[in-house]
Amino acid sequence: MSEGFLRGVEYEDPLVRYRGERISYTLKKLLGREVQLDENFLIDIFYLHYLPMPIPKTKAEVSKEKEVMYNFVDMMLGSDLVLRNREYSIANSAVSMALSVSYVQNLIEELERIKRTSQSQEERQMAEQILNGLMKGSGMREGQKNSETQQNQQMEKLMKQVHEKALSKAMEDAESVRSMQRIVGGNGAGTGSILNFEGEIHEVLRLARNTEIKKILEFLSGMPRLGSYTKKKTTRFSRGELYGYEEGSDLERLVPSELAYPEELFYIKLAESQLLLYQKRIKEVLGPIYLLLDKSGSMDGEKIIWAKAVALALYSRARRENRDFYIRFFDNIPYPLIKVIRNAKSKDVIKMIEYIGKIRGGGGTDISRSIISACEDIKEGHVKGVSEIILLTDGEDKIAETTVRRSLKEANSTLISVMIRGDNADLRRVADQYLVVYKLDHEDLLRVVES
């Protein structure tokens, strides 16, 4: 099998071949049909993003039928946009995969559009020739075009035009994938396992192109603080982690230097609890996050977009803190409970994001019923370890205070109520914590996430 255009890439390596096959499979899913593309070309597109310093072969080493593919690789390597983006794509297989798939998909679709709709017959023919040059076994062979035509300025101009358009769209998709990866998976030390998304990249790209999800990701991507907050609960424990010093008589935590005292003085200090001891503590396991999110008609528009951004931000926090995450939408009725366990697989996270993206505002509002349903979930064991229920609503609904209080007490749970551009006197009395948000900006979101 012939090799591609990058030096140092082992094209027969199983992982390298897998990535080429994965791009081909994903393109089939997104285009809805099989496309006969040279697999080594797909591998090259991936590795020129993934590698820190990809080195291409010279044009003289490339056969004539592969010149079209080589030219696209060469344009990609010479792009300032690709160079700037390498900060995020190097060794990040999900971002590199998104860039590769999106670029090739948009390249094919743009060439097919020109071939189908251009008013210029010459341009239609050039688009067809470029497509043939990309297709496996359909290169521009000797006799089809002479060398003078291959270097034709119009052909180069058209290739550059479709390349720049495809690359621009690919960068948009990759940015959304990177935001999704950062928000729901973490991408740094101490954030737990990183969601790779590589195996489900076609689903991720569909999500990234969803208008509502894109708005949410763009909103959240402007929040550098989003991934920094974690809630920590600790308790003192004699064999825990050292965090300070104190005086006392617990010999199990004795600082060794205290043993240097004369025996008589040591026992006096012991009797008077004046020995220097280590302070130790252990981290307590935090319970799941349970979110109730109002999707009634009055929430439609800006409110529900912001509320969905809060939902993803809370999931991000739950993942960093190694906690299960539950979300239930409601209007006049509660909707199915969605659960994402700690360290969930990427496909489960994608399903949750897809579900959140599909929800639209509509219906009435029954806040009491939603809170009671959450309490029933806890009491009946559908969810375990929940101590706080977070409610996001703009509703002026009358609350059945006595019933709601009793349900919260029986579930041993507290209620954090977030009122969106409004006030509810009943909720203010029932909730253990009551927040009101008006601006629906980054600051409001952080207030809720860090509450």
Span 23-68, pLDDT tens digits: 999 999 999 999 889 999 999 999 999 999 999 999 899 888 898 9
| Dihedral of alpha carbons 102, 103, 107, 110, sign | positive
Classify domain 289-449 at the CATH superfamily level: von Willebrand factor, type A domain (3.40.50.410)
Beta-bridge mates of residue 398: none
12, containing H or E segment: none
For residue 135, give the nearest of 33, 54, 14 by alpha carbon: 33
What six digits make up the tokens of 222? 């402007």
Which residue in the block uniquely carries the two structure tokens 């809170």? Answer: 371
pLDDT tens, 103-157?
999 999 999 999 999 999 889 989 999 999 998 655 544 444 444 554 568 888 9
pLDDT tens-digit readout, 396-409: 789 999 999 999 99
Provide the pLDDT confidence category of residue 264 given band limits of 50, 70 and 90: confident
Which two tokens mark 363? Answer: 């219906």
Residue 190: which pLDDT band, with cuts at 50, 70 and 90? very low
Per-domain residue ranges of the chain: 6-209, 234-283, 289-449
356-385 average pLDDT score:
92
pLDDT digits (tens, 9 = 90+) for 153-186: 888 899 999 999 999 999 999 988 888 888 776 5
For the cut 60, the answer to whether the pLDDT of residue 284 exceeds it is no
Give the pLDDT confidence score for residue 141 in this predicted structure. Answer: 46
Between residues 366 and 244, the one the model is more confident about = 366
Q: What is the mean pLDDT of residues 238-257?
A: 79
Q: What is the pLDDT of residues 296-321, one digit of tens each?
A: 999 999 999 999 999 999 998 888 88
pLDDT on residue 192: 41
CA distance 181 to 215: 15
The structure's pTM equals 0.79
